[in-house]
Amino acid sequence: MTPDWKQTLTFVSSKPFHSMKNIFQQAVILIVSLFSAGLVEAQTINYKPLIDEIQQLQKQFVPDSRVAIFNVDLKDTLQFPLILTGKTDLPDARSQLLQLLKAKNIAFVDSLILLPSVSLGSQTWALASLSVSTLRSKPDDAAELVTQVMMGTPMKVLEQSKNWFRVQTPEHYIGWIDGSGLQRFTLEELNQWKESNRFMFNKLSGYVYDKPSKKASVVTDLVLGDLFEAGKSKRGYLKISLPDGRKGFVKRSDCISYSDWVGSQPDIEVLLDFASQMMGSPYLWGGTSAKAVDCSGFVKLLYYSQAVILARDATQQARYGEVIDHTNVNILQRGDLLFFGSSAKRISHTGVYVGKGDFIHASGRVLVSSIDPLDAKYLPSRNYVAARRVITAFDTEGITPVKNHPWYNRIK
């Protein structure tokens, strides 16, 4: 999704215009709104150069509005100073904007909000507290589902709107989460969590019980990738503590210790075994869990099972990893990412290569299809245009092992 830059100019007056004289007598407010989602052509010559320069700053700092915020409003009552408003989570972007205005000797009042908002206090971090927590495009239950996070996923909290919180995920994706889906922490508390005895749930689905028995009452469900703190084992069960403080028991054999999870070499065969176990699972736009997935969420989940964090969307995933000649099927390896679209620059779908021309993906449901036009599993609607290899590109942009991510670990 490439940002579409627009410039919107709105002239506001409190009384109707009756004459040219009245026009100049009234207080006219010029609002120049610059949004990373798109700007229209400026209608005032005086502000055009400034608008253009701010637009360039936005393109420089926020080439992808899914992972950063830099929204700027300039309000001018035709009397200096200008009033600078808006929001950004990028301190450097804010600094350069202020320097730009100062260099032009423009008098202004700086009311630009730097996120995280000071109203959050010191609790500017959070952990997802449900088996799967949903992020939306706006603070509204009816808004578009943009992504999901599994229990124990660390998030940066940016701002609050009633019981909704704008957060950023470890892959920098931004969305709004209902307050019931997270537990907020201070940085000190998050650091304590980083050093705790954590385990990852290593099955597609399961449950936490209030006693160490399958006959006990259920505390919550679990899905692949959920993280939680654990104590000692009891009769084959781990006593665990969830991010929101709930406690219970989970089968020890269904879990893997955090140290073993992040310390092991990613295993493509285990990854593909999880993929095959999800055959027939439903498609869900924005879904990233074993319950339901979209195409890129499916790919992301599979690699997360091997302690590797990928970018969220297919258009983003297609930018990262080792480039593979997609036209030569003989050099493709199991676990490679295949991309589909009208061209390599216009990606709309992705899947994971499983061998012999086949790939597994989420399209309506999780299924296996083929890139071979002569194969019965071939889908003419999926135009195969690119391939990337993840396994050879760890610790490069867009491909981060969990063990090296500072939100999960205290990096020394």
Q: Which of 172, 295, 326, 405 is catalytic?
A: 295
Closest CA to 389 of 297, 266, 305: 266
What residues contact residue 54 under an 8 Å CB cut-off, 6+ apart? Answer: 34, 72, 74, 97, 100
Q: Angle at CA 393, nearest 5°, toward 387 and 399?
A: 90
Is 295 considered catalytic here?
yes
What residues contact residue 114 under an 8 Å CB cut-off, 6+ apart? Answer: 87, 88, 89, 91, 94
Is 349 considered catalytic here?
yes
- Do the beta carbons of residue 247 and residue 240 sit within 8 Å? yes
- Do the beta carbons of residue 238 and residue 249 sit within 8 Å? yes
Task: Give the H or E element holding residue 86.
Answer: strand 82-88
- Do the beta carbons of residue 227 and residue 258 sit within 8 Å? yes
d(CA 101, CA 76): 14
d(CA 146, CA 196): 30
Query: For residue 17, how many other CB atoms are within 10 A of its CB?
Result: 11
Is 361 considered catalytic here?
yes
d(CA 156, CA 373): 45
Q: Residue 15 gets which letter from DSSP? A: S
Q: Which of 172, 255, 361, 405 is catalytic?
A: 361
- Do the beta carbons of residue 230 and residue 197 sit within 8 Å? yes
List active site positions. 295, 349, 361
